[in-house]
Amino acid sequence: MARNKEYDPSDFAQRQENMRKAKGNPNKNIHHKKKNSNYGGVQKAAQRAAAAEQERSRRRRRESIFTMRPAMWVVFLVLLAAMVVLMILTSGAYKGNQTVTGLSMLATGGTCAVLAGNGYQNRRRGVEASTLQTVLMVVLGIMALLYLAVGVLGLVGVVQA
């Protein structure tokens, strides 16, 4: 390779300039691309930690719209057990008994109401619901109203008779 000008070994500034050019651009590093690097300082690391925590909380909130608290589990299981026992009695020993049929309807409506109400409370707390879960919650609410109304009307009919 031919030189355009004569090289002077005593010219320190020129020698430093040539060395700088030979090394390349020192600002062209890739530290910020390395995983878990602290390139950008403490503020950048704090921003990344906050973003990661927000992502974790978002994932937690998308669990299920019907996730229940322990007290709700107890109420739900008691109503479910009562519903099953009353339905067995309605189809067996007390076949045709309007009181047991009305109580069975009330237990079924109460179970649907607990599930629909729990889904509504979870939505108020910010849990995201899919379209299927929203439709299921609406259907449970409608069924709760129907079963409770029919159960109450059946028991009122028994009391009036």
Does residue 31 sit within a domain? no
Give the pLDDT of residue 113.
92
CB 105 within 8 A of CB 79: no
Does residue 8 sit within a domain? no
The boundaries of the domain holding residue 131 are: 70-160
Residues of the chain with pLDDT under 50: none
Does residue 143 sit within a domain? yes
Tokens of 58: 């978002």
What is d(CA 115, CA 107) in angstroms, rounded to the nearest whole number? 13
Does residue 46 sit within a domain? no
Does residue 17 sit within a domain? no
Does residue 52 sit within a domain? no
Q: What is the dihedral of CA 85, 135, 148, 115, to 10 degrees?
A: 50
Does residue 36 sit within a domain? no
Query: How many domains are there within the chain?
Result: 1
Does residue 93 sit within a domain? yes
Give the pLDDT of residue 2.
53
CB 132 within 8 A of CB 104: no
What is d(CA 120, CA 129) in angstroms, rounded to the nearest whole number? 10
| Three-class DSSP category at 92 | coil
